[in-house]
Amino acid sequence: MAVMRMMNPVTIGLAVVLSLLGGTRPAWGQLHGIHGNVVEAGAHGDGQEDGTAVFQKLLDEAGKAGGGIVEVPAGRFRINGHLSIPANVTLEGIYRVPPNPGPRNGTAANGSVLLAYAGRGSAAGPPFIRLNGDNAALAGLVVVYPEWKQTDVPPIPYPPCVSGDGHENVGIRDCCFLNPYEAIQLVRAARHLVRNVTGYPSKRGIYVDECYDIGHIENVHFWPFGVAYQPEDPYCKWVNTQGVAFELARTDWHYVHNTFCFGYGIGYKFSQSKSGSANGNFLGLGADSCQRAVVVEQAQPPGLLISNGEFVGRWGSTNSICVEIGPELEGTVSLVNCSFWGPIDRCLWMRGAAGQLTASACHFLDWDNGGVGAPALQIDAGRAIVQACSFNRNKLHVSVGSNVISAILSANQAEGGFRVKNLAGKKTQAGLNEENPVAWTETARLAYQLDVGGPADGACLEGFHDPEKTDRPFRWSLDKSRLLLPVVPGKRYSIRLEMSVPASALNAEAGLYVGGKRVAPLKSEAVLAAELPPAEGDTLEAEIRCQGWVPQKTNSGSQDPRVLGVQLFRVAMKAEGAGAGSFNANTGQMSPIGAKAAR
């Protein structure tokens, strides 16, 4: 039976007038635009009998009548073929919220469920459901692909689940698309509305192109619904490295609001088709456990305005980049009040030689999770403004490449002082940024000690893991890690390293190197002492080299997948002819020589 609705006053009045005049009262469904109910028309919700013909007959009749609603009550309806929704017609199930179908291939999915069988084996066929007219809509349904299996890797291709091509004002709301190869494709579909949609498409979630008049995508949540999720499961890892959740090509002022994806190779992709690229307003984007949270291949000059985004790298990875901007960019990318955390190599990588990047009031919590010395922001080309941002790690914050046209870095705060590697010379302007609390005077450079893992140590270290929070803090090195040692130019120094060297880290080449030459071998002793050659500048770069090892592979019971080297506890430097004082590089205070820091 059709779901009953409250009659509005006009409807009640019409019914009363017809009754008084002795006329025939229209059927309830006709008064409310309901043109049919698939069960009343003969479809079976048992998941066994093909209902394609019944569904399509009602949809066609509604289209010929000028429009209406074809209702799908609760049940599991097998559809062996394809469905076409005419202009002004809605195919509608019971849901008024984004459905959550439960785990394991939709076996627990209930409500209004369509079982899609057509098109297996090819992505090029007709879509399962075509929005085939202006104002055609799909609402309140779950679509399940019963032949999908998590053991199929790569996933078996299917055509798009829902497609709108060449029609305006089409809509999709309150639906779940469970494990389709591609969920939604909208091309030449001006003013489309996609709202309250869930699912876990494998290859691509939503694709939009040639939308010349403001489309809307709102409250869409792509997450491993229907999947037994494990990061290293072959299917999950395939989606997490190959899948794309949202892709926009040519769109003119698109609105994408309050959307989320988890476990994709790319969360949000801005590509370029033969028709062009995107511009628009992107508010409240979320991408968790993505190899690339955002990839910008191209953008229109008005730009991509991305606000209140939350971006996290792929779980277990050491090479995830949250926002990657390609070398062909000609437009603008603006990030405002976005946050970055988790397993990230670089938060942002800008390569667009003709493009503009702005990052304002953003929060960079984590990066360089592989400990290789990666910056939070790597700006290789184009123009960039980084202002009023906060950085939560005492590591390299911004790297500016020699091909950058202009970089303006201002009013940024960072633990241990805002650190910039500038290869662009005067093309980089920096000011009003938080400074290193440790003031390196010439006296301080003559003799100092640094407790590794303590405050402000990041300015002297590159390519180390984060501090270990133990009774005596330290950092693990990698197989190659660098010491950036403040010095007085032209002076010779002696260095003393307090460390623990596991047997797994020793090989014939292990040692401390300067300028590519080994100045001291690494041994199992707790102290390495060496004489260092004079440096031309005010920083001498030394490198600890050893054999990298992985605790997960060498230590029974360890779950640590990192590549480790040695444990470094303290660095002490003394110039030839230095006096009897020592500078504490963690606090910026002078102390008597030989004094030990609190442990």
pLDDT (0 to 100) of residue 485: 96
Range of the domain at 280: 251-435
Q: Is residue 5 part of a domain?
A: no
Residue 285, Ramachandran bin (φ over 0: left; ψ between -120 and 50: alpha; else beta): beta
Closest CA to 477 of 569, 599, 557: 569
In a shared domain, residues 56 and 183 = yes
In a shared domain, residues 430 and 449 = no
The token pair that represents 76 in the structure block: 């599991």
**What one-letter code names the amino acid at 263?**
G
Q: Is residue 245 part of a domain?
A: no
User: Collapsing DSSP states into helix, strand and coil, what is residue 300?
Assistant: coil
- From 407, 435, 463, give the residue that closes a domain: 435
576 DSSP assignment = T
For residue 154, whether the previous peptide bond is cis, meaning omega lies within 30 degrees of 0, is yes
Instruction: Please state the domain count of the chain.
Output: 3
Geometric angle at alpha carbon 273, from 268 and 279, rounded to 5°: 55
How far, CA to CA in Å, does 589 sit from each of 20, 92, 450, 569, 577?
Answer: 98, 72, 11, 19, 20
Q: Is residue 539 part of a domain?
A: yes
- From 435, 465, 485, give the residue that closes a domain: 435
* Mean predicted lDDT score pLDDT of the chain: 91
In a shared domain, residues 410 and 474 = no
Q: Is residue 3 part of a domain?
A: no
In a shared domain, residues 449 and 541 = yes
Per-residue pLDDT of 22-65, as tens digits, reads 444 444 344 456 779 999 999 999 999 999 999 999 999 999 99
pLDDT at 572 over 70: yes
- From 405, 435, 465, give the residue that closes a domain: 435
Q: Is residue 14 part of a domain?
A: no
- Average pLDDT (482-502) is 96
SS (H, E, C) 127-180: CCEEECCCCCEEECCEEECCCCCCCCCCCCCCCCCEEEECCCCCEEEEEEEECC
In a shared domain, residues 195 and 172 = yes
Q: Are 342 and 314 in contact (CB under 8 A)?
A: no
The bridge status of strand 339-341 relative to strand 363-364 is: parallel
In a shared domain, residues 145 and 287 = no
Give CA–CA dist 74/67, Å, rounded.
23
In a shared domain, residues 427 and 447 = no
In a shared domain, residues 151 and 266 = no
Q: Is residue 497 part of a domain?
A: yes
CATH code of 168's domain: 2.160.20.10
Residue whose tokens read 């191209």:
298
596 DSSP assignment = P
In a shared domain, residues 263 and 345 = yes
pLDDT (0 to 100) of residue 565: 96
pLDDT (0 to 100) of residue 372: 84
Q: Is residue 255 part of a domain?
A: yes
Q: Is residue 237 part of a domain?
A: no
pLDDT (0 to 100) of residue 581: 83
In a shared domain, residues 461 and 584 = yes
pLDDT at 87 over 90: yes
Q: Are 482 and 496 in contact (CB under 8 A)?
A: no
pLDDT at 7 over 50: no
Give CA–CA dist 545/257, Å, rounded.
48
CATH code of 519's domain: 2.60.120.260
**Main-chain phi, psi angles of 212, to 5 degrees:** -95, 5
Q: Quote the strand ranges of 411-526, DSSP E.
A: 413-414, 420-422, 428-431, 447-451, 461-464, 475-486, 493-500, 511-514, 517-521
Please state the pTM of the whole predicted model.
Answer: 0.86
In a shared domain, residues 447 and 537 = yes
Most confident of 5-14, 181-190, 412-421: 181-190
In a shared domain, residues 81 and 218 = yes
How far, CA to CA in Å, does 520 sit from each of 299, 359, 528?
Answer: 52, 44, 8
Dmax over CA atoms of the chain, in Å, equals 116
